[in-house]
Amino acid sequence: MNYKKNSRIILIGLLIFIHSIPGIAQKGVAQSKPISPDLFGIFFEDINYAADGGLYAELIQNRSFEYSPTDKKTWNAFTAWEYITPGYAYGSVNVETTHPIHFNNPHYVVLNIEETHQDGVGLKNSGFDGIPVKQNEAYHFSVYLKELINHAIPVVVKLQGRKGEVYAEQTITTSSAGWKKYTLELTPNQTDDSVSLVIIAKSKGTLAIDEVSLFPANTFKQHGNGLRNDLATTIAALKPKFIRFPGGCLVHGDGLGNMYRWKNTIGPVEERVQQKNIWGYHQSVGLGFFEYFQFCEDIGAKPLPVLPAAVSCQNSGGTWRIGGTGQHALTINEMPAYIQDVLDLIEYANGPVTSTWGAKRAAAGHPRPFNLEYIGIGNEDKQTDTFRERFKMINDAVKKLHPEITVVGTVGPAPDGEDFDFGWKFANEQKINVVDEHCYMKPEWFIKNQHRYDVYNRKLSKVYIGEYASHGNTLYNALVEAAYMTSLERNGDVVQLASYAPLLAKKGNTQWNPDLIYFDRTKVYPTVNYYVQQMFGNNDGDLYYKNLITGINDSTVSASCVQDSKTGDIIIKLVNLEKTFQSAHINLNSFKNLNKQAALTVLSGNENDKNNFDNPDKVMPVNSELDVKKDIDFKMSSMSLNVIRIKSKK
């Protein structure tokens, strides 16, 4: 037997076999490992007016007269409304509760029109500090009216400028002594960033009014009860792999009565249960769980709804993180019904249309399932016995009936400390699928912690970094986050999900800084941090390659290399935190069939540069091309994130 020849054949066979395994180096030093395909997503919380007055496209503030001093001490059912009696008209106005459209929506307005003098008596709403409208674009108006005197009343609806200019006008004539919904379309003949909606009753009588609504026809994907197009488009451009919603502290709420109950947020908007927002304003819940699921589907992100762990925020009743009356819990007797609510959410998202909750999803216009894979239970909860007992009950029930669902637990508000340690101990005991770590830290923390997850035990719970941000919106802040994100890719076998927080903040209504995307009534202002998230979200992979890049030190220069197995594209990210050019060597010898040109995207500037309201585009990614060689000596600009995307001919 020719032993030498045979062993050569075996060796060649082995090499051919190795070459044929996707992700295994064909030549040279590269080794790959699978990483989470869901790694970079977003966390939407209704904080900073992110929902009402923000992403939710409703233009009327306090549309159903449900604001109250519980939301904010100075608010009441008539907040954002004005009673108007133009000319010599007169009458009176009252907020009443005796015969509402629905018991969940108790307040409505009664207009008593005593004398019109042709002008009429009515109401005016200026939206969220002014209603922005665009010339020749359609706006959908709707209102519920009830004649309280037995005859028809003509009601004029107009969009009116600051000086009383009328941009659009239509008339409704009432035709019912019971609550009836009326709709019409208004198309303004001018663009104006601050108009009011005026509703004027033009004949004597008494009229009940509720649920006054105005939406642009051009919402995101043109959905009714939809989302603001520019904001939703900006979010979609992040290409998030998942959306965690609706909070945060908002979820476990300011006291037990304020816990977020998903069932209160679905169905006809006039029947949803509104409530105070823990961040000091109001939740109309017009943007409710159906709309969140729909948005996820629209932008190809997996839904990650978070439900309370049957306990309220430990800071309830006090200023955030200072004082408060502590964690309150549902009683053990209340738990079976609460657990059923959690299970019903899974049915609502995934169940057949023949199931009770699947039928409600279908009734809302979505017979197909929403393909729920993840569910979060709890947020930053204090790790008390009370919490643990309830979390375990919920987790056990979900795992028993829905082993296909990945449960995300919580390990407190910080990346270390007592709750973190107790939380992890509990997670390990209970074998919780994934736990949610939060870190709002100084930039130095992100630099120092680039090896944090290298040592996490791969056999225990996976990690969701549900909220992270360095303290600021400068390029430096954004780049330390980028450096940290390269380490998340390297550890994408244990870090399953990660999301920057908070996502949205409305100018002048901000409870938390920094945020990822600022906005006002008409414009969107993405931060530099946003562009980092966008560059990662658009260039993610599911295989991680190590040892291909030299010249990195994970303190001022960091890098990662991933491959998207769907396209075969190789993606290299390099971060330079130095104020000088730096070089790194990229060894591509392992890869065959790479295109000769790569797409290069660079985000760079001075360390304190930031995008602000006056200069929103100061730091933006710049696209160009790069020649691809087997060995690339890549020169990074000072203070830069560089993404090289190389297509391969499959």
Contact 84, 198 (CB under 8 A): yes
Centroid of chain to Cα 174: 40
Q: 188 or 466, CB closer to ligand AHR?
A: 466
Cα atoms in the 13 Å half-sphere on the side-chain side of 330: 23
Q: 260 or 484, CB closer to ligand AHR?
A: 260
Cα atoms in the 13 Å half-sphere on the side-chain side of 505: 20
Centroid of chain to Cα 55: 9
Q: 313 or 588, CB closer to ligand AHR?
A: 313
DSSP assignment of 307-358: E--SB--TTTTSBTTB--S---B--GGGHHHHHHHHHHHHHHHHS-TTSHHH
CA–CA gap between residue 490 and residue 339 (Å, rounded): 37
Determine whether 178 is exposed, middle or buried from the number of CB atoms within 10 Å of its CB (0-12, 13-18, 19+).
exposed
Chain residues that interact with ligand AHR, rule: CB under 6 A: 45, 47, 247-249, 379-380, 413, 438, 467, 501-502, 512
Q: How far is the CB of 638 from ligand AHR (least distance, A)?
A: 31
Compute how many other C-beta atoms are within 10 angstroms of the C-beta atom of residue 508.
11
Q: 182 or 512, CB closer to ligand AHR?
A: 512
Angle, CA 251 vertex, CA 537 and CA 458 arms, to 5°: 50
Q: 438 or 645, CB closer to ligand AHR?
A: 438
CA–CA gap between residue 440 and residue 231 (Å, rounded): 24
Q: How far is the CB of 247 from ligand AHR (least distance, A)?
A: 5
Contact 510, 502 (CB under 8 A): no
Helix (H) or strand (E) holding 10: helix 3-20
Q: 402 or 507, CB closer to ligand AHR?
A: 507
Of 27, 5, 4, 6, residue with least CA distance to 16: 27
CA–CA gap between residue 495 and residue 464 (Å, rounded): 6
Pairing of strands 462-470, 495-500: parallel
Q: 470 or 640, CB closer to ligand AHR?
A: 470
CA–CA gap between residue 629 and residue 627 (Å, rounded): 7
Pairing of strands 406-410, 374-377: parallel
Query: Is there a catalytic annotation at residue 437?
Result: no
Tokens coding 528: 């530099």
Contact 517, 525 (CB under 8 A): yes
Catalytic residue among 45, 66, 380, 437: 380
Buried b (16+ CB within 10 A) or exposed e, 49-67: bbbbbbbbbbbbbbbbbbb
Peptide bond into 22 cis (omega under 30): no
Q: 247 or 472, CB closer to ligand AHR?
A: 247
Q: 347 or 467, CB closer to ligand AHR?
A: 467
* Neighbouring residues of 33: CB distance < 8 A, sequence distance ≥ 6: 493, 543, 544, 546
Q: How far is the CB of 245 from ligand AHR (least distance, A)?
A: 12
Q: How far is the CB of 438 from ligand AHR (least distance, A)?
A: 6
Q: How far is the CB of 50 from ligand AHR (least distance, A)?
A: 10
DSSP assignment of 29-95: S-EEEE--TT-B-EE--S-TTSTBTTTB---STTTTS---TTT-TT--TTTTEEEE--TT-EEEEEE
Q: 179 or 440, CB closer to ligand AHR?
A: 440
Residue showing the smallest CB distance to ligand AHR in the complex: 248
Cα atoms in the 13 Å half-sphere on the side-chain side of 138: 9
| Catalytically annotated residues | 380
